[in-house]
Amino acid sequence: MSPRLACAALVLTSVVARAADAQSTAPDTSGPPPAVTTALSYTGELVSDASGGAQRGVVYTGVAGAQLTLSLSRLVGWRHARLFIYALDAHGGAPSTLVGDVQGVSNLESPPGVRMEEWWLQQNMLAGRVSLLAGRYDLGTEFYVLQSGNLFLNGSFGMGPEFGLSGVEGPSTFPFTAVGARLDAKPSPNSVVRAAVLDGVPVDRPGGGIHLFAPGDGALVVGEVAILARPDTAAAPRGRRFQVGRGLARMYSRKVAIGAWYYTARFPDLVDTLPSGAPVEHSGSGGAYLITDQTLWTARSGVPGPLMAFVQLGLGDGRVNQVGSYVGAGLTLTGPVRRRAKDVVGFGVAAARNGSHFVSAQAALGVVAAGETAIELTYVAQFGAWLTVQPDVQYVLSPGGTRATLNALVPGLRIGVSH
């Protein structure tokens, strides 16, 4: 698609969009939720490979989505229960085909098509301190989430590649989600313990078709413990401070979380083989991560803010996955321009390090493997409550994690419309 046609498509289709209720960090309003809530939004992005990478060019990618939330308490008297449905239409090209990168310069990239991304039922219990969710569920809405990281376009700032590129087509996150269950608990106002068990393979299979819990899938088990500091904790009612679950996220000034994940299925080794020549199979594959988000200063007279810093550390399974470890870090500043108090600027670095088995496999082919590092500078301009414009530039070192591809300069422009 040409840039002119892409821009036209963005204008013509801006009445629909991707929903993101679970990733919202805005405080909830008090009072009972409405019986029926709908949300429409559209996000479109132009991405260019200006130099280096796999090939020069420009692609357009977009996601339109529709969200429906039903309060079963209001509709049928089923107390503290919610039903959530999220459908999307992904279209356009794949920016990573230009760059040749592993981490993904656009977290919007998705196979074209219309599909159901999430559908789940959530039941809250014990005065809201425990939340049970079951259905088709996106792990990335609650696990491995950083408030500051949501600003960036590179996929690794949402979920580190040591986990995001694991398993078969990755864990249960956009654009490939799986079916399972999640349990959240809040033992104190500023701590959350959560765990999830899901099908080890997404619903939409890589070779085509839709399957649930097929033989050999195994399970994906994920756990996380998070400690947070929130500026509104003291003022919020006691009951509100202890509530947990999707749709109840609140802004924080500090977060530290540690998590771990494990697949129960079998996976082939990247380099080790049996005498027959077949790859050695490993029973199970896992990893762990540590993330932190910290407010360095808040806004005050004559000084923009808040300024926040985040760090991501991850260890994966280098026997069966390309990425064996990951380090990410960045800064975000709100209100960097006078009279633009809601705009945000961010700078981040995402470094994916190859596992030893991938390095050995590439060496056998005569290829020098080097970790891939993406450097991103981005700016989000907010125009009213419904429109955001986000110019972005990334510089990707060793795209694909090898020296076979030249470093890539990747400018882009994203526009989001919501209703």
CATH number, position 308: 2.40.160.180
Which whole number is the average pLDDT over 5-12?
34
Q: Which residues in 87-110 are b (16+ Cβ under 10 Å) and which e?
A: bbbbbbbbbbebbbbbbbbbbbbb
Q: Residue 353: is its pLDDT beyond 90? A: yes
Where do the H-state alpha helices sit in 40-179?
72-76, 95-99, 161-164
Q: Residue 284: is its pLDDT beyond 60? A: yes
Residue 10 pLDDT grade (very low, low, confident, very high; cuts 50, 70, 90): very low
Instruction: Please give the Cα distance from 413 to 379 (Å, whole number).
Output: 10
Helix and strand totals (H; E) in the chain = 6, 17
Q: Residue 5: is its pLDDT beyond 80? A: no
Q: What are the C-alpha distances in Å from 272 to residues 176, 214, 278, 352, 360?
A: 29, 27, 9, 22, 10
Most trustworthy range by pLDDT among 2-11, 16-25, 248-257, 407-416: 407-416
Residue 238 confidence (pLDDT): 60
| Out of 4-13, 221-230, 238-247, least confident range | 4-13
pTM, full prediction? 0.89
The residue whose two tokens read 């991304």 is 117
Number of domains observed in the structure of the chain: 1
Instruction: Please give the Cα distance from 300 to 331 (Å, whole number).
Output: 18
The string of pLDDT tens digits covering residues 164-187 is: 999 998 999 999 999 999 999 999
CA angle at 29 for the pair 146 and 107, rounded to the nearest 5°: 30
Residue 235 pLDDT grade (very low, low, confident, very high; cuts 50, 70, 90): low
Choose between 99 and 6: higher pLDDT: 99
Residue 304 confidence (pLDDT): 86
Mean pLDDT of the chain: 89
Residue 8 confidence (pLDDT): 34
Where do the H-state alpha helices sit in 273-389?
356-364
Residue 233 confidence (pLDDT): 61
| Out of 196-210, 322-336, 403-417, least confident range | 196-210
Q: Residue 3: is its pLDDT beyond 50? A: no
| Out of 72-86, 294-308, 309-323, least confident range | 294-308
Q: Residue 24: is its pLDDT beyond 90? A: no
Residue 236 pLDDT grade (very low, low, confident, very high; cuts 50, 70, 90): low
Which whole number is the average pLDDT over 383-401?
95
Residue 230 pLDDT grade (very low, low, confident, very high; cuts 50, 70, 90): confident
| Out of 11-25, 349-363, 387-401, least confident range | 11-25
Instruction: Please give the Cα distance from 240 to 129 (Å, whole number).
Output: 9
The string of pLDDT tens digits covering residues 84-126 is: 999 999 999 999 999 999 999 999 999 999 999 999 999 999 9
Amino acid at 94: A
3-class state of residue 111 by DSSP: coil
Residues spanned by the domain of 175: 3-418
The strand ranges marked E within 50-149 are 51-53, 57-71, 81-92, 113-125, 130-137
Residue 249 confidence (pLDDT): 77
Choose between 301 and 176: higher pLDDT: 176
Whether residue 129 contacts residue 147, with contact meaning beta carbons closer than 8 Å, is answered with no
Q: Residue 26: is its pLDDT beyond 50? A: no
Q: Residue 214: is its pLDDT beyond 50? A: yes
